[in-house]
């Protein structure tokens, strides 16, 4: 990993914006670089505070944390812009971070896996964005046709992938024979759940090319079990998170529907859902989380009680069918 924190751009922006106190948000894998990043601010005599909260995506902009600290700028590293923040929020500067790697050895390795496929749907996580033209050229030089996933919803660029928005991949599915995800298991798993064509992950950090075959069936089985458990549950906890990009706002409608089906419901709020926070809600049989849909899906094994996404709750209530949800994508 050779991370480029776009220091020149950061310094230029800091000189222009002249903040007094900055709150910095770093993704989990970059928190180890806090000292290096801190130095940039110290050299400019700018007070800097690092957020110790988790920062899994561009949805987690620490507006309230910054306000309570009195920060006049948030510098959010490692994700592209995901949402518009409210007017009263401190200004936000996004530093996407580039990983400057030579991707060619991994691309060469991938050719064997991709032998039978001519047209490839390509998506990348943000740290590879600067390399994407080279990646396309490599595949084209090797006889492939590349189609980038479309920019739909909260993704920032054509070809950009995030964990909760796969419409851009679905929209090109009929034009390609398979998908290649230049990123990590989190992104490729979401892709495998959302599209029916084969999905291959190029994971440079674990030095692996993975065919995601079988992931979809395995996860779907788990999701069906959770929905069936929900149908037999009486006491339901609906969870909303306080993260600014995860306020999906459907809880009133959902609670109404649950009550109409004779369920007892309470509404719970938290900054981030974790197993220990749910443990003491002893008499709740099933939770529905209206925040990051990937928590319910990816962290299935960590929770004792079933956790459903909004779409899954609608299946359990009889408002949607599995076929309808799978057609649009489960995530
Ligand atoms: S909602 Fe979840 S998947 Fe989407 S950006 Fe946030 S953390 Fe990532």
List pLDDT tens digits, range 253-272. 999 999 999 999 999 999 99
Sheet holding 178-182, edge to edge: 145-148, 119-124, 178-182, 199-203, 208-211
Supply the pLDDT for residue 327.
86
- The single-letter DSSP state of residue 130 is G
Residue 291 near residue 246, CB atoms below 8 Å: yes
Q: 224-234 burial, b for 16+ CB within 10 Å, e for fewer? A: eebbeebeebe
Between the CA of 163 and the centroid of ligand 1 the distance, in Å, is 5
pTM summary value: 0.93
**How many residues are there in the chain?**
331
Cα separations (Å) of 285 from 195, 230, 274, 276, 295? 31, 8, 16, 16, 18
CB atoms within 10 A of CB 201: 26
- Kindly tell me the sign of the dihedral angle through the C-alpha atoms of 249, 252, 253, 255: positive
Between the CA of 251 and the centroid of ligand 1 the distance, in Å, is 18
Confidence grade of residue 331 (pLDDT, cut at 50, 70, 90): confident
The alpha carbon of 260 is separated from its chain's Cα centroid by a whole number of angstroms, namely 33
Supply the pLDDT for residue 86.
85
Between the CA of 285 and the centroid of ligand 1 the distance, in Å, is 26
Supply the pLDDT for residue 330.
83
Supply the pLDDT for residue 276.
95
Supply the pLDDT for residue 329.
83
Supply the pLDDT for residue 254.
97
Q: Which residue has its alpha carbon closest to ligand 1 atom 4?
A: 164
Q: Which residue has its alpha carbon closest to ligand 1 atom 1?
A: 292
Name residues contacting ligand 1 (CB within 6 A).
56-59, 82, 162-164, 245-246, 292, 294
- The single-letter DSSP state of residue 160 is B
pLDDT at 279 over 80: yes
Residue 5 near residue 11, CB atoms below 8 Å: no
Supply the pLDDT for residue 246.
85
Supply the pLDDT for residue 147.
98
**Sequence-distant (≥ 6) Cβ neighbours of residue 308 within 8 angstroms:** 226, 227, 230, 286, 287, 288, 289, 296, 316
pLDDT at 328 over 90: no
Strand partners of residue 92: 74
Supply the pLDDT for residue 12.
98
CB atoms within 10 A of CB 106: 17
Query: What does pLDDT average to over the chain?
Result: 95
Between the CA of 56 and the centroid of ligand 1 the distance, in Å, is 7
CB atoms within 10 A of CB 259: 12
SS3 content of the chain, % helix, strand, coil (to 5): 40, 20, 40
Confidence grade of residue 40 (pLDDT, cut at 50, 70, 90): very high
Pairing mode, if any, of strands 73-77 and 21-25? parallel
Q: What is the pLDDT averaged over residues 312-325?
A: 96
pLDDT at 1 over 80: no
pLDDT, tens only, 209-255: 999 999 989 999 999 999 999 999 999 999 999 888 888 889 999 99
pLDDT, tens only, 179-212: 999 999 999 999 999 999 999 999 999 999 999 9
Q: Which residue has its alpha carbon closest to ligand 1 atom 5?
A: 57
pLDDT, tens only, 135-166: 999 999 999 999 999 999 999 999 999 999 99
Cα–Cα distance between 199 and 202 in angstroms, integer?
10
Supply the pLDDT for residue 10.
97
Supply the pLDDT for residue 244.
87
pLDDT at 274 over 80: yes
Q: What is the pLDDT averaged over residues 53-78?
A: 96
């Amino acid at each position: 990993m050779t991370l480029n924190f776009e220091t020149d751009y950061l310094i230029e922006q800091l000189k222009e914006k002249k903040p007094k106190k900055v709150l910095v948000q770093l993704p989990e894998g970059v928190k180890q670089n806090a000292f290096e990043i801190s130095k940039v601010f110290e050299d400019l005599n700018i007070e800097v505070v690092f957020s110790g909260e988790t920062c899994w995506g561009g949805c987690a902009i620490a507006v309230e944390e910054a306000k309570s600290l009195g920060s006049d700028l948030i510098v959010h590293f490692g994700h592209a812009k995901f949402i518009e923040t409210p007017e009263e929020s401190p200004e936000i500067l996004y530093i996407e971070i580039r990983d400057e790697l030579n991707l060619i050895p991994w691309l060469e390795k991938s050719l064997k896996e991709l032998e039978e496929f001519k047209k490839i749907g390509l998506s990348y996580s943000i740290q590879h964005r600067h390399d994407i033209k080279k990646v396309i050229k490599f595949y084209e030089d090797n006889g492939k046709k590349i189609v980038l996933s479309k920019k739909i919803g909260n993704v920032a660029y054509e070809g950009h992938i995030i964990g909760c928005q796969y419409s851009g991949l679905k929209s090109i599915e009929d034009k390609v024979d398979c998908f290649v995800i230049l990123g990590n298991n989190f992104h490729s798993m979401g892709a495998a759940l959302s599209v029916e064509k084969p999905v291959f992950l190029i994971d440079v950090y674990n030095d692996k090319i993975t065919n995601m075959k079988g992931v979809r069936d395995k996860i779907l089985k788990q999701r069906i079990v959770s929905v069936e458990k929900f149908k037999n549950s009486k006491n339901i906890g609906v969870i909303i998170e306080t993260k600014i990009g995860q306020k999906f706002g459907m809880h009133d409608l959902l609670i109404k529907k649950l009550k109409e089906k004779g369920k007892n419901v309470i509404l719970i709020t938290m900054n981030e859902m974790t197993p220990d926070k749910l443990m003491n809600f002893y008499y709740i049989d099933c939770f529905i989380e209206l925040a990051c849909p990937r928590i319910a899906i990816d962290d299935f094994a960590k929770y004792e009680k079933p956790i459903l996404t909004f779409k899954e709750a609608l299946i359990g209530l009889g408002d949607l069918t599995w076929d309808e949800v799978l057609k649009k994508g489960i995530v």
